[in-house]
Amino acid sequence: MVDEDEGVSGSTEVSIGELIEQRLSRRGVLFGLAGTAAATALGGGVAQAQKSGPSSFTFTEVPHVNDPTHHVPDDYEVQILIRWGDPVLPGAAAYDPTKQSGAVQALQFGYNNDFLGLHPLPLPGPGGGSTTGDRFLMVVNHEYTNSNLMLAGIGEGREARLRADQPQAEIEMAAHGGAVIEIAREGRRWKVVDGSRYARRIDATTPMRIAGPAAGDARMKTSADPTGTKVLGMFNNCAGGETPWGTWLTCEENFYFYFAGDGARHPDQVLAKRYGLGRTVSYAWGKYFDRFNFDKEPNEPNRFGWIVEIDPYDPQGTPVKRTALGRFAHEGCHHAVAKDGRVVCYMGDDSRMEYVYKFVTAKPWNPDDRAANRDLLDEGTLYVARFDDGGKVVWLPLLHGQAPLTAENGFASQADVVINARRAGDLLKATPMDRPEDIEPNRVNGRVYVALSNNSSRKPEQVDAANPRAKNDHGHIVEITPKDGDHAATEGTWEILIAGGQPGKHEGANYHPATSADGWLTCPDNVAFDSKGRLWIATDSAEQAGIADGLYACDVTGEGRALTRQFFAAPKGAEVCGPIFTPDDRTLFLAIQHPGEGKGSTFETPSTRWPDFKDGAPPRPAVIVITKKDGGPIGS
């Protein structure tokens, strides 16, 4: 996304003493490469182009390109599963770009598909469930709209959204949120099941419940909801996750773009400043709906920026905002199960100089009684991470009443802590990171992978071992090893797995030295693992380095550790989102988001018409299916 992630951190003031200490200890900066490979890479060695070598992957690499279509290795195939505007609900109109309205869009697949989750059918449980892996509920986030590519005659860029009339605003609101679709495999192909009783669209107007410590708090009350427990809709849902009991966790990221108003006049200046209210307004919704104007409804923004739990198996169920997990620009929410059965959710706040978090439930989850887990996410401990220069990570609890999160510092309750989680993190001296995106535990090796996208605003005096580059244009990936292999542990160790950019060209770029000229990447965003625990990395914003966004495969153990290889290249303007494998590794789904985004690209003159390539038709975000032509596992 081109206009996301403005940094508003209040966390970057460091004393001179701290600076000197950091600089000294930085000399021992850790890189997660083994032996001589690390030495070569750190010495600035240029990666040698080679197609074979120590990698466990056998596919032929896709070259770095930047053109109107997608690319996979020759022996792989791409199928389009569903596109923006395709029917989802009964009675939905077929896609017709000249006949969009809010009501039409509300029944169709939304825009800018991001997170993808797979929930097996039938529902797994003590009584059995799907074992074939041939039928799933796919859950999909619809993050934002490129309105200028959706609609004719409205011009370019963000301004096209700010000039919206009410019908355009209604289309945008209905194109946000998420979708549930039922999908089934026939041979190597997948289809969307028509008329599924599970099909669902969720958008910026869907009624939701607010639960957890902030529910009912004074700062959650509005004129439409004096209880502070009911809210309409979700938006800017970026990445996500799922719970062990099969619900979907969808993450509200850059919610502040949707609220108009004068930030300097907001009644709560501490909160307004820390979340950048009014700094970047990208939509005109506030002109037509008072709740999107915080001059009129100052508390409405407090009801966004949460993790939303949705049960895809219950199409009538009310989505729930789980406030115990904190309020910030939530990127994703992947879980692991601690040794004692408690559930641990890893989360990133994707803005410059923001933090990495985890939430640990108070109680273990119950695998034998799905209903018993219904409100498990309402009780537990939210932690924020401090990455020490010596390679240790410490998880600091964000608990009201425990210094410094006390009334004297403005935290009168746990509601105050979760609503202003960013400031709570500041006071605990968490480590400001280079835009924490997806954070995902690897079920094979028990480690946790943190994608850090980039951070153009980090100054030289602000670098630390975990964020070792000033003006970090290319991002990096941090690997965390929880202490004693327990995700509930409040300590662990960390190291950098790879540092993005082109070796030999971009300072600090760092991979296994056998990484080829096509294997380097920039701006890691979403990550996934295949069943062997190998890491797949999707990127967002690679065009700034002259290449398309892509998907890269990377071993995390053995001789090929930190050797990235390009598997997929996206069409022009698109980022790659939502990578997810079927349990047999024979299908890879990707969400191709915002094809054709970029300067000068409009409905009339888009930079690509992917995936339909139909004259006069705009590009359409779409979910794609990648299989190997011989039916074998992806990547092999």
For binding to ligand FEO (CB under 6 A), which residues are involved? 1, 4, 143, 238, 253, 331, 350, 437, 525
Q: Is 232 exposed, middle or buried, given 0-12, 13-18 or 19+ CB atoms closer than 10 A?
A: middle
Token readout for 571 is 């069409």
Residue 217 contact among Ca ion, ligand FEO, none, beta carbon within 5 to 8 Å by kind: none
With CA atoms as reference, report the closest residue to 573 among 605, 545, 595.
Answer: 595
- For 566-620, the DSSP string reads EEEEPPTT-EEEEEEE-TTSS-EEEEEE-TT-STT--SSS-S--TTT--TTPPP-
If the CB atoms of residues 437 and 585 are measured against ligand FEO, the closer one turns out to be 437
Token readout for 359 is 């939430």
8 Å CB contact between 119 and 148? no
If the CB atoms of residues 294 and 449 are measured against Ca ion, the closer one turns out to be 449
**Shortest distance (Å) from residue 116 CB to Ca ion:** 12
Residue 253 contact among Ca ion, ligand FEO, none, beta carbon within 5 to 8 Å by kind: ligand FEO
Return the SS3 of 488: coil
Collect all residues with Cβ–Cβ distance below 8 Å to 46 and sequence separation of at least 6.
503, 504
**Shortest distance (Å) from residue 636 CB to ligand FEO:** 30
Beta strands 207-211 and 320-322 are: parallel
Residue 300 contact among Ca ion, ligand FEO, none, beta carbon within 5 to 8 Å by kind: none
Residue 537 contact among Ca ion, ligand FEO, none, beta carbon within 5 to 8 Å by kind: none
If the CB atoms of residues 495 and 540 are measured against Ca ion, the closer one turns out to be 540
Helical (H) or strand (E) element with 16? helix 16-26
Return the SS3 of 191: strand
Q: Is 484 exposed, middle or buried, given 0-12, 13-18 or 19+ CB atoms closer than 10 A?
A: exposed
Residue with nearest beta carbon to ligand FEO: 238
**Shortest distance (Å) from residue 238 CB to Ca ion:** 5
**Shortest distance (Å) from residue 531 CB to ligand FEO:** 26
> Across the strands, what pairs with 448?
441, 480
If the CB atoms of residues 176 and 609 are measured against ligand FEO, the closer one turns out to be 176
Stretch that binds Ca ion, among 179-187, 274-282, 536-544, 551-559 (CB under 5 A): 536-544
Residue 284 contact among ligand FEO, Ca ion, none, beta carbon within 5 to 8 Å by kind: none
Distance (Å, whole) CA 308 – CA 620: 26
**Shortest distance (Å) from residue 149 CB to ligand FEO:** 17
If the CB atoms of residues 1 and 344 are measured against ligand FEO, the closer one turns out to be 1
Q: Rule CB under 5 A: choose which of 252, 378, 540, 543 binds Ca ion.
A: 540
If the CB atoms of residues 41 and 542 are measured against ligand FEO, the closer one turns out to be 542
13-43 as b/e: b if 16+ CB within 10 A: eeeeeeeeebeeeeeebbbbbeeebbeebee
For residues 234 to 253, the per-residue mask of contacts with Ca ion, x marking binding by CB under 5 A and - elsewhere, is ----x---------------
Collect all residues with Cβ–Cβ distance below 8 Å to 603 and sequence separation of at least 6.
97, 148, 149, 150, 151, 152, 153, 154, 618
**Following CA atoms 258, 592, 307, 405 in sequence, which dihedral angle do they give, to the nearest 10 degrees?**
-80
**Shortest distance (Å) from residue 275 CB to ligand FEO:** 16
Q: Is 143 in the site for Ca ion (CB under 5 A)?
A: no
If the CB atoms of residues 435 and 512 are measured against Ca ion, the closer one turns out to be 435
Collect all residues with Cβ–Cβ distance below 8 Å to 446 and sequence separation of at least 6.
336, 481, 482, 485
**Shortest distance (Å) from residue 138 CB to Ca ion:** 18
**Shortest distance (Å) from residue 158 CB to ligand FEO:** 15
Residue 623 contact among ligand FEO, Ca ion, none, beta carbon within 5 to 8 Å by kind: none
User: Can you say how many angstroms the Cα of residue 182 is from the centroid of all Cα atoms in its chain?
Assistant: 22
If the CB atoms of residues 437 and 549 are measured against ligand FEO, the closer one turns out to be 437
Helical (H) or strand (E) element with 285? helix 285-288
Residue 434 contact among ligand FEO, Ca ion, none, beta carbon within 5 to 8 Å by kind: none
If the CB atoms of residues 378 and 525 are measured against Ca ion, the closer one turns out to be 525
If the CB atoms of residues 88 and 576 are measured against Ca ion, the closer one turns out to be 576
**Shortest distance (Å) from residue 238 CB to ligand FEO:** 3
How many other β-carbons are positioned within 10 Å of the β-carbon of residue 58?
Answer: 12
∠ Cα 54 57 63 (to 5°) = 100
For residues 197 to 236, the per-residue mask of contacts with Ca ion, x marking binding by CB under 5 A and - elsewhere, is ----------------------------------------
If the CB atoms of residues 4 and 170 are measured against ligand FEO, the closer one turns out to be 4
If the CB atoms of residues 41 and 251 are measured against ligand FEO, the closer one turns out to be 251
**Shortest distance (Å) from residue 561 CB to Ca ion:** 25
Residue with nearest beta carbon to Ca ion: 540
| Residue corresponding to tokens 């240790």 | 392
> Across the strands, what pairs with 77?
627
**Shortest distance (Å) from residue 537 CB to ligand FEO:** 14
Distance (Å, whole) CA 11 – CA 425: 8
Residue 518 contact among Ca ion, ligand FEO, none, beta carbon within 5 to 8 Å by kind: none
If the CB atoms of residues 251 and 514 are measured against Ca ion, the closer one turns out to be 251
Residue 203 contact among Ca ion, ligand FEO, none, beta carbon within 5 to 8 Å by kind: none
Number of residues that bind Ca ion (CB under 5 A): 3
Distance (Å, whole) CA 519 – CA 511: 9
DSSP state of 151: S
**Shortest distance (Å) from residue 437 CB to Ca ion:** 5
**Shortest distance (Å) from residue 352 CB to ligand FEO:** 11
**Shortest distance (Å) from residue 253 CB to ligand FEO:** 5
If the CB atoms of residues 213 and 240 are measured against ligand FEO, the closer one turns out to be 240
Beta strands 535-539 and 433-434 are: unpaired
Residue 555 contact among ligand FEO, Ca ion, none, beta carbon within 5 to 8 Å by kind: none
Q: Tell which positions 469-528 bind Ca ion, by CB under 5 A.
A: 525
∠ Cα 525 529 533 (to 5°) = 135
How many other β-carbons are positioned within 10 Å of the β-carbon of residue 340?
Answer: 9
Q: Tell which positions 572-631 bind Ca ion, by CB under 5 A.
A: none
Residue 426 contact among ligand FEO, Ca ion, none, beta carbon within 5 to 8 Å by kind: none
**Shortest distance (Å) from residue 523 CB to Ca ion:** 8
If the CB atoms of residues 113 and 302 are measured against ligand FEO, the closer one turns out to be 113
> Residue 33 corresponds to which amino acid?
L
Binding positions for Ca ion, rule: CB under 5 A: 238, 525, 540
